[in-house]
Amino acid sequence: MRAQLSLYTRHGCHLCEDMEQAVSELATELNFETKIIPINNDATLEQNYGHRVPVLMMGQNVICEYYLDKAALIHAISGK
């Protein structure tokens, strides 16, 4: 079963674009799917993630913020 991740992003955010690209490149290799969730125009998401995007999460657990941490991603997916 593929792990399900969420990536909170903002339109026009270069860090968000970089993380989205990096995550997409690893998805097949590490066997996960990512749902991209833009926070623009959503007051609750803006309040929760506005200054932290991009934020990569698995369930309610933050894997990394701002930049992809590949080791943390592997750790989260493997459960080790």
Q: What is the pLDDT of residues 31-48, one digit of tens each?
A: 999 999 999 999 999 999
Total structural domains within the chain: 1
Q: What residue numbers bound the domain in which 44 lies?
A: 3-78
Place of tokens 């749902």: 35
Neighbours of 47 (CB within 10 A): 10
pTM, two decimals, is 0.93
- In the predicted model, is pLDDT for residue 6 greater than 70? yes
**Each residue of 54-67: pLDDT tens digit?**
999 999 999 999 99
CA distances from 52 to 1, 29, 48, 79 (A): 29, 27, 8, 24
Could you tell me the two tokens for 27?
């998805």
36: domain CATH number is 3.40.30.10
- Cβ neighbours of residue 70 under 8 Å, at least 6 residues apart? 26
